[in-house]
Amino acid sequence: MAPKRRDNKGRILQMGEWQEPNGRYRYIYNDALGKRKIIYSWRLTEADPVPAHKHKEVPLREKEKQVQSLFMQGISGSDLTVIELVERYISLKTGVKQSTLANYKTVINTLNKTEFAFRHVDQVKLSDAKMYLISLQRSGLGYSSIHNIRGVIRPAFQMAVDDDMILKNPFDFEMSSVLINDSNKREALSPQDQKRFLEFVQNDKHYSRYYDAFLFLFSTGLRISEFCGLTVKDLDFEEEVINVDHQLQRSRNMKYYIESTKTTSGTRKIPMTEEVKELCQRIVANRNKPKRESIIDGYGGFLFFDKEGKPMVALHWEKYIQHARDKYNRQHALQLPPITPHICRHTFCSNMARQGMNPKTLQYIMGHSDIAVTMNVYTHLGLDDAREELVRLKEARNVMKMKGVM
């Protein structure tokens, strides 16, 4: 009978346990896939002291219990690294939009610049995941950018959970509990600021050429890429509706392409008010038709073009609005807040909420897939709005009393 192995304290070592010459313990086992694995610790049991100049860590036998627990639950462990896991997750995404693919590429590029990318998936703990996000913010990335990165890594780790590679998802926590939200909130313009901006644009020698486009964004609430994708055929003057069923995008390599709307709810028909109908007719009448119409993925007849005769995209309008607002602020003491195409959309939504539009109707017009997104706009209304609403309700009651209804 072979003598039992013992450590330097005379304790019997169990099957798979070894003590190295430097005193460190190791445990060798095969995972559920038959792959050889090794775990280490400077302590065998909880009663062992921490060696000098070493960090306190979980004793080897506690680690063994964790391994055995995972086996009993069918958890196999994984040799995949974080970057390999994310790439596998992305490879299973089929039929995604080009903008989404560009976001995936950004996540991969960001990951590859960090040591975290090459950690084994089954070795990533909750604290590791939190520290990774914190390191991204400390490196200068904004909250919204980190949110997008986590939006890919989190489901990738959930896939690992579902595949029985790991027991828990280390990224399953509220990001706001770890990071400082330094993102700028997109505030709607006040009615006064909207009026001042549009009046300035209308009367400015240079920016007046964009007045109808700016007014259209404030009057319809379209997403900027939906607006860029509009064609003459999408303006149905007979039915008095704007057909929204696609977006115009441009990639970083300057390739134009058509995408479906952001969500299925984004495909909609927006009724034209009389003012919007006249605005659309004016846009079509003043359309600077190029010598050669651009046909992009079968779509032609776009409404606005750049100097090269190409359809304008979101970046054009973002710059035009920004430059117009900057020029206004250089000439006026009373400054305008930041204005972007999305703020135009948010302002339209807030104006409709302020005027008492039914939330479900507003959700449809905005193309929101979730009513909660629409309802959030109502929380932005302030004291003046509340006073106006109470006055309106009082006047409505007085009318009902006069008619004998109350």
Q: What is the CATH number of the domain that holds 350?
A: 1.10.443.10
**Rounded to whole angstroms, how far apart are CA atoms 361 and 264?**
16
Q: Which residues are catalytic?
A: 223, 262, 342, 345, 368, 378
> Are 236 and 362 contained in the same domain?
yes
Is 33 or 328 the better-scoring residue by pLDDT?
328
Q: Is the pTM of this model over 0.85?
A: no
- Please report the DSSP string for 216-271 in residue order: HHHHH---HHHHHH-BGGGEETTTTEEEE--EEEE-TT--EEEE--SSGGG-EEEE
- Would you say residue 65 lies in a domain? yes
> Are 252 and 360 contained in the same domain?
yes
CATH of the domain at 104: 1.10.150.130
| Highest mean pLDDT pick, 138-142, 274-278, 370-374 | 274-278
- Would you say residue 12 lies in a domain? no
* pLDDT tens digits for range 37-63: 888 999 999 999 998 888 888 899 988
Q: Which of the residue ranges 83-92, 209-218, 225-234, 389-398 would you say has the lowest mean pLDDT? A: 389-398
> Are 160 and 235 contained in the same domain?
no
Range of the domain at 347: 191-378
> Are 279 and 215 contained in the same domain?
yes
Q: Tell me the β-bridge partners of 249.
A: 257
> Are 164 and 196 contained in the same domain?
no
Check whether 376 has a pLDDT greater than 90.
no
| Residue 73 confidence class, pLDDT cut points 50, 70, 90 | low
> Are 103 and 224 contained in the same domain?
no
Is 94 or 248 the better-scoring residue by pLDDT?
248
Check whether 227 has a pLDDT greater than 60.
yes
* pLDDT tens digits for range 296-332: 999 999 999 999 999 999 999 999 999 999 999 999 9
> Are 164 and 237 contained in the same domain?
no
> Are 336 and 253 contained in the same domain?
yes
Give CB contacts under 8 A, 24+ apart, made by 205-213.
207/320, 207/323, 207/324, 207/327, 210/320, 210/324, 212/279, 212/282, 212/283, 212/286, 213/283, 213/304, 213/317, 213/320
| Residue 280 confidence class, pLDDT cut points 50, 70, 90 | very high
- Would you say residue 151 lies in a domain? yes
- Would you say residue 394 lies in a domain? no
> Are 124 and 60 contained in the same domain?
no
Check whether 267 has a pLDDT greater than 80.
yes
> Are 173 and 46 contained in the same domain?
no
CATH of the domain at 60: 3.30.160.60
Q: Which of the residue ranges 196-205, 325-334, 353-362 would you say has the lowest mean pLDDT? A: 353-362
Task: Give the count of domains, the chain.
Answer: 3
Calculate the average pLDDT of the chain.
88
